[in-house]
Structure 1
């Protein structure tokens, strides 16, 4: 028996089962207009069933343009800029954060993410930053957040396209950390090295 998926046959079945199709004025299936309306309703039902989301939900998930000064929702970042948007006031494209995404200068950094690259020409010339999830042993740009439980253990003055970078690692007992690095709870500094971290200085951390 032929069991191939036949969408139009499915649509006809859905149309015949559409609630209220017989009672809604203008949707009598015996007229061309009624058959068309029933088919449209069936298409909507089929698409909703296959995707599991509404058009509004899909648009919100993909992102949206907002005027300058509009708040950025939690968990979202700014990824595009149009200086002519919003009648000349400027507009920004906002979308949910994900691992490995370029964001415009001034975009919030979502908790758990760090900045790992910089493009001075990105975002229509205002500069862009590359956001990734934090992990043990990752170079990050100067100014990047340091997640809880992490410390900076090395420094490069030329990293991140010239703005400098820091190497982040999860804290461990008896580890050298760069000067200015946070001291995680349960640890303390014991010894200082002026030449550590490529000359910025380093502290030896041990468990308390």
Structure 2
């Protein structure tokens, strides 16, 4: 079974909601996740963040579970989505709520603690939508962007401003702003 991939209708619907051109949505989709929300085995693309799990649990698991709970972010860790899933499963066995909140989900890598910002009433609703389809992931992204008032930044094509607000102050390390600009330019050259 394969999860639903994004369609041009999904991109157009999102572009209409955010009042931006379709290439903007396609650029953010590509840069945030490489363009896929699911692995071949239909697991959602995630990134478990041990330092966030540590904060959410007050560091009580740092000693016995130092692989999935530590105070400072380590660049490049976890090393893969598979490792993220393994760490997530361990963390969920210790504190399910904190594990979900300490994980970024789907195409747009939205942290679980933003579930309310995405219009979800519960963490369970958030995860179910993330695991349903890429279309649902895009819908949650749009809700997040509108709730955080980031749509103006996207409309202005202020890539650095968007990257800083969306990815954090270290966005330059990964050149998110430059990647967004290049992807937007490339998708703008593709006929509708």
If the TM-score is normalised by the length of the shorter chain, which range does it land in?
Answer: under 0.3
Instruction: Please give the TM-score of this superposition, normalised by the length of structure 2.
Output: 0.24
Structure with the largest fraction of strand: 1
TM-score, normalised on structure 1?
Answer: 0.23
Name the structure, 1 or 2, with higher relative contact order (CA <8 Å, separation 6+): 2
| The structure with more helix, counted as a fraction of residues | 2
Larger Rg: 1
